Chains A and B, each alone.
Chain A
């Protein structure tokens, strides 16, 4: 290696600015990522939670591989119930405009968790909420029927994000019909929400 090239490498290593942390792992104190998450890999690679070529979801960045889910079965069940609510889009709108919840700070995700009666599970609910806002923002507009919002959540991978993170499956997407792009709010017994504990 030529001396000039070596010097350039050293200088660029010393002066390189760290890439901004992806939103999924940004911390309020400015730390790039928590222990349980990593920055995005090379641009162009699938992002965490997007299915790979084989259709398997990538591990969630907020949770160590194979580690226990921070979502209890009760939380996963409550979240699934919330997702099936006929007032889903209305509750999302109310929480984004005027978050109401006990304790401070009452953020948009905290308000939604309160509305869903979920006590923990922040990382997994945040993953689905970010997906709702970014990918299904128009389909889940306040003036849109909740079944159309659910269609988007089921078909854009938002539900998968939560399920992969919480290691649970529920039937939110079972009743979806492509004809009218909607997922009716069918009743589902709590037992149908299966929380997977094995890695």
Chain B
């Protein structure tokens, strides 16, 4: 790609939307309509940036007045119809030749860092511009590195890992983030921390590696074909750390996630269901990333697609959830759209520790689930993995929830028995996140109305049989303008001792 491409990509966005192109900016549908392919665009004239311009631009980013500069430029350079934020910032920085590149970064910043650079701190704004690739846009255009994103400009000091579950929620539309430590004795008490990240982060997946807890963050809305993913440490002060021990850029379209652990290795399963337009790889593509702690840090190995047998690549699946049975890890794959389908795979490790999925069983569920989550519950002192399925209300059926236990058939394959609990649940659930604290398992249940509820599961089977499988321990009204659509619990500890 040539210089100036990011700006051209941004301009192409309008054209794509006008055409009804279902793909993200900078890409077009493949002939088989299963994926989007990045397309090169005419770069136009090559902008020129002197080393003095690049140095001035870099210095402006490091200035303690970055947020103030953005705010004042917004007031002076934005009208109802147009906004030349980048041009104004270039003028503030004293750039002579490099206006196109500054405008490209400004456009990216307005789209993805509007909240972080107007309402956040200088550090949050800088981090956002780096995370969202806005600084990268400038660097590509200018043909030079600023060094702004080589290391975090405002690192949080290294601290011990968090000792309590950390509930984190984010608005993908703005990047506004709130987090709260979960104290079992007083779940509604405690300070809630706020922060601003880039817009476009779409998923959180809790991971624990060698006793340290992280949130795996996925961005699927950015200006390029590849967006950032990172492993953010959960800190004892109730925030996510700003220095990821690992980060990468993945193609867009990864939208289904789960995790499991085998011994000291934690595995992240990622999959392209096609619910978000996939770029590069077709829908139905899966990958398993292994995280292992070493003396020098984290060792990460990526096993893209090689471990997936044909049965597990298609239909494609909409849900993947990990569970354990007799201490062995399994994954359940479910397709909630018609024709619905469910399969179970075991996970085998070869002598080098590479994971392979082995199709073990098909489950003949008569209905499909909109939400599916496996989690362990200590029942009468024994940890058992359960499966929660939730189905939204349809025309003639109320919204329903069932919880079943994973168990073994006579053939030694995983299956589920009849429900332990089956009842009506709120009409429009967005999702659930299970986590453990002490010996109890909790479920964070999020409704589209903005209500979030924390349930604690009963510790004895007798309580479940009596119809008291859980009790509500906290209720929050999170609001919906815009909705909190990215929710996760760091230190969920489903695969490790809580």
A residues contacting B by CB (< 8 A) are: 17, 20, 22-23, 26-28, 89-90, 92-99, 105, 107-110, 122, 126, 130, 132-144, 149
Contacts and interface: CB of A to CB of B under 8 A. Distances in A.
B410 A110 contact: yes
A98 B420 contact: no
B402 A28 contact: no
Interface in B354-408: 359, 361-366, 379-380, 382, 384, 400, 402, 404-405, 407-408
A144 B418 CA distance: 11
A97 B405 contact: yes
Nearest to A26: B411
14 contacts: A23-B361, A28-B412, A93-B417, A96-B420, A97-B407, A109-B409, A126-B409, A137-B422, A138-B418, A140-B419, A141-B418, A141-B420, A142-B421, A143-B469
Contact of B409 (A17, A92, A107): A107
A43 to B, nearest CB: 10
B496 interface: no
A98 B461 contact: yes
Most-contacted residue by chain B among A89, A98, A134, A137 (CB, 10 A): A137
Contacts of A110: 410
Contacts of B417: 92-93, 95-97, 108, 133
A85 to B, nearest CB: 14
Given A130-B364, A144-B422, A96 B407 contact: yes
B250 interface: no
A107 B413 CA distance: 10
Interface residues of B, number: 39
A154 to B, nearest CB: 15
The 10 closest A-B pairs by CB, nearest first: A96-B417, A143-B467, A138-B422, A141-B419, A141-B422, A140-B418, A108-B407, A96-B405, A107-B408, A97-B405
B377 to A, nearest CB: 9
A143 B418 CA distance: 11
Contacts of B461: 93-94, 97-98, 142
Given A92-B418, A138-B422, A107 B362 contact: no
Contacts of A140: 418-419
A136 B400 CA distance: 14
A122 B400 CA distance: 32
Contacts of A108: 407-409, 415, 417
Nearest to A109: B410
Contacts of B422: 137-139, 141, 143-144
A110 B407 CA distance: 11
A20 B469 CA distance: 37
B462 to A, nearest CB: 9
B418 A132 contact: yes
A162 to B, nearest CB: 15
B407 A99 contact: yes
B193 interface: no
Given A96-B420, A134-B364, A141-B420, A17 B408 contact: no
Contacts of B364: 23, 130, 134
Given A20-B362, A109-B410, A135-B366, A96 B418 contact: yes
Interface of B: 310-311, 359, 361-366, 379-380, 382, 384, 400, 402, 404-405, 407-413, 415-423, 461, 464-467, 469
Contacts of B362: 20, 22-23
A105 B411 CA distance: 10
Nearest to B377: A97
Contact of A89 (B412, B418, B469): B418
A136 B417 CA distance: 10
Nearest to A88: B418
A105 to B, nearest CB: 7
Contacts of A109: 409-410
A172 B161 CA distance: 58
A126 to B, nearest CB: 6
Contacts of B466: 143
Nearest to A87: B465
A160 B362 CA distance: 23
Nearest to A112: B417
A72 B418 CA distance: 26
A129 B415 CA distance: 11
A58 B411 CA distance: 23
Given A135-B366, A143-B469, A93 B420 contact: yes
A118 to B, nearest CB: 13
Looking at B310, B420, B464, the one whose CB has the most chain A CB atoms below 10 A away is: B420
A27 B411 contact: yes
Contacts of A138: 400, 402, 418-419, 422
A198 B147 CA distance: 86
Contacts of A92: 417-418
A101 to B, nearest CB: 12
Given A20-B311, A98-B380, A107-B409, 13 more contacts: A23-B362, A93-B405, A97-B405, A97-B407, A97-B461, A107-B407, A107-B410, A110-B410, A134-B366, A140-B418, A141-B418, A142-B461, A143-B467
Nearest to A152: B418
Greatest chain B CB density within 10 A among A95, A97, A99, A138 is at A97
Contacts of A95: 407, 417
